[in-house]
């Protein structure tokens, strides 16, 4: 985790290390997954387990976490032709609209469907309907194909209750088997609303959080509801809804004044926290929609450390963190691959960076 080193090496990782199941399926605890720590001060990478995290945190450090819970956002659907599809609900928009993704079922997970759908009405289970209105974002033509769509939903009950009853967690080809929703919740989740799990928080357990608090680490919650992460075209992330409480902003500001570290658990936290931090480094409470993408032209202002998972070289998560530092502090592909037999991605290993001023 580092203030100026938040991007992973853009090298090819061994596909066999992708996480196909949660660690619990292998008889492990959540915090038994591997942890790589980039030490900026000594230009080194340390291998550890996530349960060892307290060794790199100090009293007074502020650990900022996302309390968003994961929806059962994948719903079976049928096109007017009767062709089966799977709808991934992405983001709830003002006015009762949603952005959604339409995907084709496959033998393992789903694959993106790129057919033009404007004006189509998709049949959903239990009498539900999704009317596809236009491509999202709209770029002047409604007739072309799109990855995301603006849609209105007609459901027999409130969205959350409906998804709990007929939906399932979104999963992709690297996870061949379905897992219950509980496997896609972090220990911090208290308010459902994310299309996909804020996965950087998954390795935390209640026991580990207790150990961190006993060490004097402060845990500060915020909320950002994530949209779908399947940006196959490597486009920048879309707007997401966030809420930063006043008490959390005060903790971050106090840490900055006292020279303590502010460590973001995941890129969702980076996005929300940096949205409400001004050019002087002052963080304010706030809520609303963020389109922020961290770049070299808009560097980090509040975050001085990051805990994140391994992701593909062009993943959305890395687009948010495109302000990189010298490559020497990044683990190479060989170092990442050496984390075997623990796999990578959303339910696998975790990466962090460490130095005297940032973890």
**Band of pLDDT at residue 140, cut at 50, 70 and 90:** confident
Number of separate domains in the chain: 2
In a domain, 359, yes or no: no
pLDDT at 338: 52
Q: Is residue 137 domain-shared with residue 262, that is, in the same domain?
A: no
Q: Is residue 216 domain-shared with residue 280, that is, in the same domain?
A: yes
- Span 65-104, pLDDT tens digits: 999 999 999 999 999 999 999 999 999 999 989 999 999 9
> Mean of the pLDDT values across residues 173-186?
91
pTM above 0.75, yes or no: yes
C-alpha to C-alpha distance for 266 and 246, rounded to whole angstroms: 20
Structure token digits, residue 274: 């940096």
Q: Is residue 321 domain-shared with residue 224, that is, in the same domain?
A: yes
Q: Is residue 144 domain-shared with residue 241, that is, in the same domain?
A: no
Q: Is residue 304 domain-shared with residue 160, that is, in the same domain?
A: no
What percent of the chain lies above the pLDDT cut of 70? 79
Helix (H) or strand (E) holding 290: strand 286-290
Most confident range (mean pLDDT) of 105-109, 294-298, 307-311 is 294-298
In a domain, 173, yes or no: no
pLDDT at 323: 53
C-alpha to C-alpha distance for 326 and 7, rounded to whole angstroms: 10
Are the beta carbons of 145 and 114 closer than 8 angstroms? yes
Q: Is residue 267 domain-shared with residue 333, that is, in the same domain?
A: yes
Q: Is residue 292 domain-shared with residue 242, that is, in the same domain?
A: yes
Residue 165 backbone dihedrals phi, psi, to 5 degrees: -85, -40
In a domain, 270, yes or no: yes
Q: Among 166, 198, 222, give the residue marking a domain's end.
A: 166
- Span 113-122, pLDDT tens digits: 888 999 999 9
In a domain, 332, yes or no: yes
**Band of pLDDT at residue 326, cut at 50, 70 and 90:** very low
Q: Is residue 282 domain-shared with residue 341, that is, in the same domain?
A: yes
Bigger pLDDT: 255 vs 356: 255
Structure token digits, residue 192: 């459902």
**Band of pLDDT at residue 197, cut at 50, 70 and 90:** very high
Query: Three-state DSSP class for 246?
Result: helix
pLDDT at 4: 36
Q: Among 116, 145, 166, give the residue marking a domain's end.
A: 166
Most confident range (mean pLDDT) of 25-39, 133-147, 225-239, 327-341 is 25-39
pLDDT at 12: 57
In a domain, 1, yes or no: no
Q: Is residue 159 domain-shared with residue 268, that is, in the same domain?
A: no
pLDDT at 234: 63
In a domain, 264, yes or no: yes
Virtual torsion, Cα 115, 118, 121, 125, nearest 10 deg? 60
CA angle centred on 148, ends 346 and 139, rounded to 5°: 135
CA 271 to chain centre: 10
pLDDT at 10: 45
In a domain, 2, yes or no: no
Could you tell me the residue range of the domain that residue 57 belongs to?
Answer: 15-70+178-354
Q: Is residue 207 domain-shared with residue 280, that is, in the same domain?
A: yes
pLDDT at 348: 39
pLDDT at 217: 98
In a domain, 3, yes or no: no
- Span 221-269, pLDDT tens digits: 999 999 997 656 666 788 999 999 999 999 999 999 999 999 999 999 9
Q: Is residue 191 domain-shared with residue 269, that is, in the same domain?
A: yes
pLDDT at 342: 43
Residues ≥6 apart with Cβ < 8 Å to 252: 62, 64, 220, 262, 273, 277, 283, 302
Q: Is residue 52 domain-shared with residue 85, that is, in the same domain?
A: no
Q: Is the pLDDT of residue 134 over 90?
A: yes
> Mean of the pLDDT values across residues 292-317?
80
Q: How far is CA 81 from CA 75, 115, 121, 122, in A?
A: 18, 13, 10, 10
- Cis amide prior to 341 (ω within 30 degrees): yes
Bigger pLDDT: 296 vs 246: 246
Residues ≥6 apart with Cβ < 8 Å to 180: 169
Q: Is the pLDDT of residue 106 over 50?
A: yes
pLDDT at 15: 66
pLDDT at 109: 76
Virtual torsion, Cα 153, 155, 158, 161, nearest 10 deg? -110
pLDDT at 249: 98
Q: Is the pLDDT of residue 129 over 70?
A: yes
Q: Among 166, 200, 222, give the residue marking a domain's end.
A: 166
Question: The domain spanning residue 210 has which CATH number?
Answer: 3.40.1780.10
Q: Is the pLDDT of residue 213 over 50?
A: yes
């Amino acid at each position: 985790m580092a203030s100026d080193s938040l991007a992973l090496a853009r090298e090819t990782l061994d596909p066999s290390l992708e996480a196909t199941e949660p660690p619990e399926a292998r008889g492990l605890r959540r915090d038994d997954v591997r942890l790589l720590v980039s030490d900026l001060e000594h230009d080194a990478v340390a291998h550890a387990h996530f349960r060892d995290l307290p060794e790199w945190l100090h009293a007074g450090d502020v650990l900022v976490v996302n309390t968003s819970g994961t929806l059962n956002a994948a719903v079976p659907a049928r096109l007017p032709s009767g062709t089966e599809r799977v709808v991934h609900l992405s983001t709830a928009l003002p006015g009762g609209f949603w952005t959604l993704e339409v995907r084709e079922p496959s033998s393992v997970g789903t694959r993106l469907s790129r057919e033009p759908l404007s004006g189509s009405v998709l049949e959903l289970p239990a009498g539900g309907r999704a009317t596809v209105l236009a491509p999202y974002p709209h770029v002047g033509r409604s007739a072309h194909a799109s990855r995301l769509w603006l849609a209105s939903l007609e459901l027999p009950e409130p969205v959350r209750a409906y998804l709990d009853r007929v939906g399932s967690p979104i999963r992709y080809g690297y996870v061949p088997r379905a897992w219950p929703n509980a496997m896609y919740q972090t220990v911090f989740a208290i308010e459902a609303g994310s299309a996909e799990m804020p996965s950087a928080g998954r390795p935390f357990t209640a026991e580990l959080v207790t150990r961190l608090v006993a060490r004097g680490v402060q845990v500060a919650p915020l909320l950002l509801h994530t949209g779908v992460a399947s940006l196959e075209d490597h486009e920048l992330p879309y707007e997401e809804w966030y809420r930063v409480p006043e008490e959390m902003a005060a903790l971050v500001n106090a840490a900055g004044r006292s020279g303590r570290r502010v460590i973001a658990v995941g890129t969702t936290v980076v996005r929300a926290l940096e949205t409400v931090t001004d050019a002087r480094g002052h963080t304010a409470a706030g809520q609303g929609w963020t389109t922020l993408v961290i770049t070299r032209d808009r560097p980090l202002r509040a975050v001085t450390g990051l805990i994140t998972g391994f992701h593909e070289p062009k993943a959305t998560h890395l687009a948010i963190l495109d302000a990189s530092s010298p490559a020497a502090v990044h683990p190479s592909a060989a170092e990442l691959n050496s984390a075997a037999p623990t796999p990578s991605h959303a339910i696998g290993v975790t990466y962090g960076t460490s130095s005297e001023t940032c973890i």
